[in-house]
Amino acid sequence: MKAAVYSRVSTLDQHPETQIHDLERMAEQRGYEIVERYTDRITGTRARRPGLDRMLTDARHGRFQVVLVWACDRLARSTRHFLEVLDELNHLNIEFVSFRENLDTSGPLGRAVVVIIGAIAELERSLIVERVRAGMRRARLEGQHIGRPRLNVDREALVRDRQRGLSLGQLAKMHRLSRTSVIRCLQQSPSPGSP
The ranges assigned to domains in the chain are 2-107, 114-147, 155-187
Strand partners, 3: 34, 66
- pLDDT (tens digit per residue) in 122-173: 777 788 889 989 999 999 899 888 887 777 888 889 899 999 999 999 998 9
The pLDDT > 70 percentage for the chain reads: 92
Strand partners, 33: 2
Catalytic residue among 10, 167, 189, 191: 10
| Long-range contacts of the stretch 14-19 (C-beta < 8 A, 24+) | 14/41, 16/41, 18/70, 19/69, 19/70, 19/74, 19/99
The span from the CA of 110 to the CA of 108, in Å, is: 6
Q: Is residue 78 annotated as a catalytic residue, yes or no?
A: no
Least confident of 47-56, 82-91, 186-195: 186-195
Is it the case that residue 53 has pLDDT exceeding 70? yes
| DSSP state letter for 166 | -
Q: What superfamily in CATH does domain 2-107 come from?
A: Resolvase, N-terminal catalytic domain (3.40.50.1390)
**How high is the pLDDT of residue 121?**
67
